[in-house]
Structure formats: C-alpha cells, structure tokens
C-alpha cells in the first residue's frame, strides 16, 4: 500500500509481525527497533526501516560490521528525526554491506541479503536490506545511503524505486561517513510519489551539516508532466559497454516505450564517462581511509585486548573489519601517501571536476540522462567475480555522485524473470523535475507493461 492509503491507519504491529514471520529467509532486517513517531503527526502509524549506518538514539548502529556489533547510537540523524516528527514510526534497522562498501550485500558481518524474486541471487548493495524489505512488503518505504549507486542498484535488482537526491538536499548528520563528498541519504519505495513525499519531509538546511542547501519547491506538487516536452539523452557508452544481453534488450524496449509516448531521445557521446569508475575508486577509498581511521579500538566499538597501543590498533582492525573494507582502506591509504597523492588523488579530483562540468553542460540542453541502472542482472549468491568486475557494476550510477546530481532507478518490467530498472539522472537541485519525469514514466509502465509471473 502507498503512504497516502495508509494515512489514518496504524499498521506498526502488523509490519513488525510480517518482518518476524517472513524475514528469516531474506535476512534483510537486522533488528526490530520500535520507535513510535509523533502521535499528532499526519503520518502516525505508518512504519519505515532505516539502513544500519544511520543513527537512531538508543538503538544499535552496527554498519553490518563486527567492530561496531554492540555500538549504541548516542543521538538521532536529522533525516530520521524529521520523519519521526511527522509521525512515521521506525520498526527496525536493515542489513547492508559493511560500512556501505559493496554492491551485492554479501559483505555483511551478519550474512548476505537474499533477493525476494530469487533467493539464490543477491539483493544488490550496499542498501540491499532496505531494497529487499520494501520489495517484500514489510514497509512502504525505507532509508538507504548512496555513495556510488548504493540505493539505485539494489532498487533495480529488487524491483522498487530508488532515489538519490541532489547532494545537499538531505542532511547527512547522523550518517556514518564512508566518502563524505559522495554520500547521500536516499529513499526506497514502491512508487515515485511515496519517494517524493518522504524526501519532501526530510529535506532542508541543517545547521549540523554545512553541506545542506535550501530547496523551496514542493517535491510532491503536480507530479504529472507531458513527456512530449521532455528531452532525454543516452550516453554512447551505454551501447559500447559489455552489457548482459537481456539488459541490452530490455533497455532497447524502454527507449522505444518512451519514444512512443512522445519523449525526445538522442544518443550523445560523453567520452569523460570512461573515467568515472577509475576516479570514483580513487576518491571514495581515500575518503574512507580517513573517515574509518577512528575505528581503531580506542573510542568506538570492539577493542582487542592486545598489549601495546600499536598492537591494539592492528589486531582490533584485523579481527573487526571485513575483507572489502580492509581492501578499500589500503587502497585509500596508498592513494593519500606522500609519494602518490599528486599522482592519483589530486589528479582524480581534477578529472572529477571535468566530468561534473561536462554533465552540467549536457543537462542545460537535456532534461535527463538515461541509462540502465546496472549493466548486469543480479549475480548468484557466492558467484566468484573479481573485485574489478564488481566495481564495474557501478559504471552507470557513479556519475551522479561525482557531480552531486539527483538520480533515480525506476522498475521497467522484467528480464529473465528478474526485475529490470532504468536510471534517470537530472539537473542539480532540480529534483522536482526529475521526480515528475520519473513519476509519469513509472505510472505508464505500471499500467501498460506485463507483470512478472
């Protein structure tokens, strides 16, 4: 059910019961954490879930890591505080890739999240728990975080809507930092309308986060738009990339579907996009190595009983952190070392600026950039792929984070019996325009595309 349909109904206990009864298979919810919202709020009685790297006072925030297995949040994230004030009620914390590093949700200390459409496949990551929980019908929406596609990619894999707003739209206060210049809270829901409502509730300037910006346009106002007045571009790299054949065919169908409804679609060359994965995997691990330095056994979480400070640091991080987190910390530390800072990190920042400026220029001419959300279908659990193969799964989602642009994944039917999602990237701080385009497309697909059997 949508949020509007649930107004005036208290379904908190029903939601908790559903999670307890059904989630043993999916492993999408780590813990039930019941916190009722403002009883006088418009949305009282409507439940939601929060990814376990977002703080809620008095609850555990583990980041799906052994090192924070028993860490209790001392305060509540601004975004969650706003939802509670509006009446929404928290019912639990969702599973994720450890410290949000991963795109299959297999990098969790508490075990992988399974895809509701095929429990032998991954849910996507790093917000895979939130995506799977919404897809399974536990709650009408859940919060995730998106650093390089961590809301949109699992949304595509699980057949739900996943939205990453413009950088600065929603406060990051209370979010465990992975890569601060890229991180954003995002929303996963079954409809674009619900996404718009939730983001409208959370958005706004926050004195506790200096990167936040004011946005005065109501995101929920008049979501219908005439597609014949919309210009969409498709980067040529989509056709040059080695896509799964079923993904390629489904994307062709999506393009034709939109053309038939009047949208103007053009293919353009954006050669700068060839560098997005390389740039991201220099900048993100570098910021992560700095942000995660505080998890050393001194103040937060797990502490090894080793003798001596250096030995305590080493053994705490050795036993407390998973392999992917260690890999990215090492990558980032290398990039920031005195010998390689200028060669890698400094150069990556310059290329990031070039990519961002190019995307801004393109979006002065087009309303949105369209790609598949992911170049592949959800891998099977335990499928042996190299780190590089995993990293390339983010090739279409990373650009929006590098440039701080809003981006959304919306379901577009099925391929090989699994959900397929298309991604639209919009103009900076013009989230309302992107949501209108996405709403109109999603409503059309809901009415006209065949359902999966």
* Set 15, 89, 127, 150: catalytic member: 150
Of all helices (H) and strands (E), which one includes residue 91? strand 89-94
Q: Cα 222 to the chain's mean position, in Å? A: 25
Indicate the SS3 state at residue 157: helix
Distance CA 372, CA 370 (A): 7
Q: Are 200 and 42 in contact (CB under 8 A)?
A: no
| In the chain, ranges of CATH 3.90.1300.10 domains | 3-229+365-448
Q: Cα 382 to the chain's mean position, in Å? A: 22
Q: Are 130 and 38 in contact (CB under 8 A)?
A: no
Strands 89-94 and 141-145, how do they pair?
Answer: unpaired
> Which string of DSSP letters, residue by residue, matches 3-40?
HHHHTT---HHHHHHHHHHHHHHH--EEEEEEE---TT
Distance CA 395, CA 333 (A): 23
In this structure, what token pair is assigned to residue 28? 């999408």
Q: 391: buried, middle or exposed (CB in 10 Å: 19+, 13-18, 0-12)?
A: middle
Q: Are 407 and 426 in contact (CB under 8 A)?
A: yes
Task: Give residue 443's region: left, alpha or beta (phi > 0; psi -120 to 50).
Answer: alpha
> Which string of DSSP letters, residue by residue, matches 340-407?
TIIIIIIHHHHHHHHHHHHHHHHHHH-SEEEEES-SSPPPBTT----HHHHHGGGTTTHHHHHHT--E
Opening angle at CA 445, ends 403 and 50, nearest 5: 55
E strand map for 112-217 = 114-115, 118-122, 141-145, 161-164, 185-189
Q: Are 55 and 68 in contact (CB under 8 A)?
A: no
Question: pTM for the whole thing?
Answer: 0.96
Q: What are phi and psi of 78, to 5 degrees?
A: -55, -45
Catalytic site residue 150? yes
| DSSP β-bridge partners for residue 54 | 175
Q: What are phi and psi of 89, to 5 degrees?
A: -120, 130
Cα end-to-end span (Å), the chain: 20
Of all helices (H) and strands (E), which one includes residue 415? strand 407-415
**Per residue of the chain (453 residues), what is the pLDDT tens digit?**
899 999 999 999 999 999 999 999 999 999 999 999 999 999 999 999 999 999 999 999 999 999 999 999 999 999 999 999 999 999 999 999 999 999 999 999 999 999 999 999 999 999 999 999 999 999 999 999 999 999 999 999 999 999 999 999 999 999 999 999 999 999 999 999 999 999 999 999 999 999 999 999 999 999 999 999 999 999 999 999 888 899 999 999 999 999 999 999 999 999 999 999 999 999 999 999 999 999 988 888 899 888 888 899 899 999 999 999 999 999 999 999 999 999 999 999 999 999 999 999 999 999 999 999 999 999 999 997 888 788 889 999 999 999 999 999 999 999 999 999 999 999 999 999 999 999 999 999 887 776 654
Q: Specify the CATH class of 3-229+365-448 in words.
A: alpha beta
Whether cis (ω within 30° of 0) applies to the bond prior to 126 is: yes
Distance CA 142, CA 133 (A): 8
Catalytic site residue 376? no
* Set 28, 108, 123, 126: catalytic member: 126
* Set 51, 164, 203, 430: catalytic member: 51
Catalytic site residue 180? no
Q: Give the contacts of 364 (CB within 8 A, at least 6 positions apart).
A: none
């Amino acid at each position: 059910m949508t949020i509007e349909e649930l107004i005036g109904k208290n379904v908190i206990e029903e939601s908790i019961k559903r999670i307890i009864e059904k989630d043993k298979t999916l492993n999408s919810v780590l813990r039930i954490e019941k916190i009722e919202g403002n009883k006088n709020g418009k949305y009282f009685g409507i439940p939601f879930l929060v990814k376990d790297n977002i703080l809620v006072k008095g609850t555990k925030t583990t980041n799906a890591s052994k090192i924070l297995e028993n860490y209790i949040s001392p305060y509540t994230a601004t975004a969650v505080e706003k939802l509670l004030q509006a009446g929404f009620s928290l019912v639990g914390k969702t599973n994720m890739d450890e410290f949000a590093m991963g795109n299959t949700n297999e990098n969790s200390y508490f075990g992988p999240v399974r895809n509701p459409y095929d429990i032998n496949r991954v849910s996507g990551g790093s917000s895979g728990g939130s995506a799977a929980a919404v897809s399974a019908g536990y709650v009408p929406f859940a919060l995730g975080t998106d650093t390089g596609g961590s809301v949109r990619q699992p949304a595509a894999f699980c057949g739900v809507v996943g939205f990453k707003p413009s950088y600065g739209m929603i406060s990051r206060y209370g979010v465990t930092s992975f890569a601060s210049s890229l991180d954003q809270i995002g929303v996963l829901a079954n409809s674009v309308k619900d996404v718009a409502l939730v983001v409208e509730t959370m958005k706004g300037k926050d004195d506790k986060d200096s990167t936040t910006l004011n946005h005065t346009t109501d995101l929920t106002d008049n979501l219908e738009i005439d597609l014949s007045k919309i210009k969409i571009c498709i980067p040529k790299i989509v056709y040059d990339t080695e896509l799964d054949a079923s993904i390629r065919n489904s994307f062709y169908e999506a393009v034709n579907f939109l053309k038939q409804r009047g949208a103007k679609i053009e293919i353009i060359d954006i050669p700068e996009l060839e560098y997005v994965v390389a740039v991201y995997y220099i900048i993100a691990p570098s910021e992560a190595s700095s942000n995660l330095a505080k998890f050393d056994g001194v103040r937060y979480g797990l502490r090894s009983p080793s003798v001596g400070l250096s030995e305590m640091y080493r053994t705490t991080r050795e036993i407390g952190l998973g392999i992917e987190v260690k890999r990215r910390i090492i990558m980032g530390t290398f990039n920031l070392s005195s010998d390689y800072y200028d060669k890698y990190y400094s150069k990556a920042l310059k290329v990031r600026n070039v990519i961002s400026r190019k995307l801004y220029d393109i979006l002065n001419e087009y309303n949105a950039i369209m790609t598949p959300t992911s170049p592949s279908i959800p891998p099977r659990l335990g499928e042996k792929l190299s780190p590089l193969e995993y990293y390339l799964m983010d090739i279409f989602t990373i650009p929006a984070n590098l440039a701080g642009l809003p981006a959304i994944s919306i379901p577009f039917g099925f391929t090989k019996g699994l959900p397929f999602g298309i991604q639209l990237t919009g103009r900076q701080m013009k989230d309302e325009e992107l949501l209108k385009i996405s709403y109109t497309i999603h409503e059309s697909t809901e009415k006209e595309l065949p359902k999966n059997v």
